[in-house]
């Protein structure tokens, strides 16, 4: 009799736990669209200093380009394209910021190696990327070479997908590209900005 009275109670507990699990909302991927307010965040830049989005939104158009990681061929091509286009982008009122899961020291080393003239932000756990809906995968041990050919190795905490956004002066998403061609990204932004500025005339 004791066993028979215990079974319904145990069954009820299982059903109750199952119901709680089903009621618990799953983490939904963010689907940020053009016209939506841009997420506000604070992270560390390539100099180890705090970088607050709220200090930059509203002053210029802010290009936030998320990329997989430093010292990879595609990401190097993308960074150098932005470097080469910086004079034109500055004339268009644009600030460029690169974001990856690499650490601050790795960013500092990459920026120095490529002589980059814009800021890199460290998003090691992918928290900022997820706010923008950018897919985040696990990191890796990366083998790379300095410009002088000296090999070195570093840990990448997380890997971000290659997505690019432009945040307008109103603090809203003005442009979103989830299928970025690394070497052509800067040109695509220049073309978008030319149309954007023409509309403002």
Of 27, 45, 30, 28, residue with least CA distance to 173: 30
Give me the residue label for tokens 């595609």. Answer: 74
Rounded (10°) CA dihedral 165, 171, 172, 178:
10
d(CA 69, CA 51): 19
Give residues with Cβ within 8 angstroms of 195, minimum separation 6. none
3-state secondary structure of 174: strand
Q: Which residue is catalytic, options 38, 64, 75, 104?
A: 75
Catalytic annotation on 158?
no
Residues marked as catalytic: 75
């Amino acid at each position: 009799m004791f066993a028979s009275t215990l079974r319904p109670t145990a069954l009820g507990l299982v059903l109750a736990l199952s119901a709680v699990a089903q009621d618990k909302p799953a983490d939904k991927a963010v689907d940020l669209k053009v016209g939506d307010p841009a997420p506000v965040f604070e992270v560390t830049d390539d100099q180890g200093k705090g970088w607050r989005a709220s200090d930059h939104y509203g002053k210029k158009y802010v290009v936030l380009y998320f990329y997989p990681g430093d010292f990879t061929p595609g990401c190097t091509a993308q960074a150098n394209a932005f470097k080469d286009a910086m004079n034109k982008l500055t004339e268009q009122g644009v600030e460029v910021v690169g974001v990856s899961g690499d650490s601050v020291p790795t960013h500092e080393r990459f920026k120095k190696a490529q002589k980059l003239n814009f800021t890199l932000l460290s998003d090691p756990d992918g928290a900022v990327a997820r706010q923008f809906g950018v897919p985040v995968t696990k990191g890796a041990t990366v083998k790379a070479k300095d410009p002088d050919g000296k090999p070195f190795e570093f840990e990448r905490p997380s890997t971000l997908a290659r997505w690019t956004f432009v945040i307008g002066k109103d603090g809203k998403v003005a442009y979103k590209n989830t299928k970025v061609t690394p070497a052509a990204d800067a040109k695509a932004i220049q073309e978008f900005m030319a149309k954007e500025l023409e509309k403002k005339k």
